[in-house]
Each structure stands twice: as C-alpha cells, then as structure tokens.
Structure 1
Amino acid sequence: MIDVILRRFEEPDEVRELELGRFEVVRIGGLTIGRATYQPGWKWSEHVPSEEPLCTVEHVGLVLRGSATAAFPDGRVVELRPGDLFHIPPEPHDSWVVGDEPYVSLHFLGADRYATDGHRGVT
C-alpha cells in the first residue's frame, strides 16, 4: 500500500514570527517548504533580526500574491510579481514589499535556513 501524505500551511511544523510578517514551514517528502507572508512596509534589513546586514540565503520560490523586490549592493533591483518563479543566488541582498497589498510567496529552496538564528532573508 502506498502512503500519501497531505499537509497544509494552516498546520505548519514551525512558524517564524517577524515584525510585519511571518514565515511558516512545512516538512514533507524530505523537503522543507516555506510560505512567506509580509505586510506593506515590511523590509528585510529592518524587520528580520540578524547579525548580518543583508540576507545571504539562496531562494527558489513562487510569488502567490503581492509584489516585493530583491535588491543587491551593485544596484540591481528585481521586482517579484504574482506568478513569477524566482531564483535568488546566495549573494547578499535586501528585500521589501512593494505597494499596499500583502506579499505571499512559497519557498522551495532555502526555507530550512531562512529567518533562523544566525540567518535572515526575504522573498
């Protein structure tokens, strides 16, 4: 008999509360998947406590709702919009919500280290 496992973010394994946001973690099938929800005004460098000034976690994800940026020290700023699949390399970057709608994204890579002690991230 094959076991099928169903999970929902309404019952996460872990919730990482952030100022103006939260990051919910579900572990399933050997993967750690995260759901980021950030309110308007949220900015990684201001609202995620860390010893590092910028996030260095690699991210692969999907934007579900709202818009946010990935901003790099060299001046590159990329806007992430609903439906975008994204890969953000493990280069230092900041991020913030764009507009007045909450931003929601799924994270398929990096969720295990994002917004944990010693690391912080966005997207």
Structure 2
Amino acid sequence: MSGLVRKSFDSPEETRPFEDGKGRVDVVDLGAGSVGRGVFEPGWKWSDHVKPIAKTDSCQAAHIGYCLSGRMVVVMDDGERLEFGPGDLMITPPGHDAWVVGDEACVLIDWQGFADYAKR
C-alpha cells in the first residue's frame, strides 16, 4: 500500500441494514482491510436481528472494536458475560450473542469482524 488513504463513514462503500430496522453496519475499505461502524438501535439483539441473516446459532465473527456511545452486553456461548460502554475497547471471540442496553443507540467501530458481518 502506498500513499495516504482517507475514507469516511459518511460515504461508506457498503451499508448493511439489520432486520426490523434495528440498525446497520457501514463498511469502508482501507485497502489494507475493512473497518465497520455498527449502529445498534435500542431493542437490537444479535439473535433477533442478525441471526436470520447469518444463519448461525451464535455470532461467529471475531471483533476488535471501540464503543463510541451507548451500551451493549455480550454473552459468550459458555456464559461469560461483559457489558461495554463509551470509551471501552473490546475483543470478542466468535461464539456470542449481544444486545443493546438502555434507550440509546450503541455505536461501535470494529477493525476485525465487520468485513462479512450481516452480509446477505
């Protein structure tokens, strides 16, 4: 990769809406990989709003991300559970469910798991 690259989530290469209008993933390709911004609306839950798209029992994407706003609970298939909020960095291995907590949208930037996330 040579030279500078500038992209914006205001004009992503792709936007993938979740079921029932509960949010979306905006994806930008930086050449060296994709970065996603997930907007998860209040009431969003992976098992309700992405599972029908992914067609897996739990989310099989690995995530490395940063929470900009809102709150999200992630529960691993083995029961381990953690809540993330603004300013938190996260590493989430494959095999989890997740949902928004409260009445504010959760906005996350993800450097690993959104390349194929919620792709129809």
Aligned residue identity for 2:65: G
The match for 2:67 is 63
Runs ≥4 in structure 1, deviation > 4 angstroms?
none
1:6 positional shift: 1.6
1:45 is aligned to 47
- SS in structure 2 at match of 1:45: helix
Sequence identity, in percent?
A: 41
Inter-partner Cα distance in structure 1 for 2:40 and 2:55:
21
Say whether 1:94 aligns with 2:70.
no
**TM-score normalised by length of structure 1:** 0.87
Are the equivalent residues in 1 in contact too, given 2:62–2:113 (CA < 8 A)?
A: yes
CA contact (8 A) 2:35 2:111 kept: yes
| Uncovered stretches (5+) of structure 2, i.e. residues with no partner | none
TM-score, with length taken from structure 2: 0.89
Alignment of 1:1-123 (within 5 A): 3-19=3-19, 20-48=22-50, 49=52, 50-90=54-94, 92-117=95-120
Contiguous gaps of at least 5 residues in structure 1:
118-123
Q: CA RMSD in A?
A: 1.3
